[in-house]
Amino acid sequence: MSVTRIVASLALSLGAPAAAQPATQTITVWSFGFAPRPIHLAAGRPVTLVFVNRSGGSHDFTASAFFARSTITAGAAPGGEIELRGHETKSVTLIPRAGTYPAHCSHFLHTQFGMSDQIVVN
């Protein structure tokens, strides 16, 4: 069997190419901020958003319009938010729609202390 056939057989046996897998975007949450700022995503391309709370206190990532207009394929964002206890990590996989969406932490005074962001989907 030629090397080319072996490589082709191996590629087929491994399943879908890496490009078919959702991209991953980590969103870091802390007292009192988010990163990255702004969040850039590709319209119509699956992405897994991984929310990592670095602080010991609870926070949320609220982006009602963004989650409502996206097609969520794994995980959940009930009421358009991801609620995180201290040092908790949660993921949601979705297909975003083009647009610019506001995001913030809805906990008392957290937005005023700088916990706001923007999601830009092109």
Mean pLDDT by 10 residues, the chain (122 residues): 45 46 93 96 97 97 98 97 98 98 95 94 96
The pLDDT of residue 31: 93
- Residue 86: CB partners within 8 Å, gap ≥ 6? 53, 55, 56, 57, 58
8-state DSSP, 79: G
Q: Does residue 112 belong to any structural domain of this protein?
A: yes
105 is a domain residue:
yes
List the Cα angle 72/73/78 in 5-degree steps. 40
DSSP letter at 18? Answer: G
Indicate the number of domains in the chain: 1
CATH number where 90 lies: 2.60.40.420
Query: Which range marks the domain in which residue 76 is found?
Result: 21-121
Asked if residue 5 is part of any domain, the answer here is no
Whether 4 maps to a domain, the answer reads no
Rounded distance, CA 18 to CA 22, Å? 9
Q: Would 7 be classed as within a structural domain? A: no
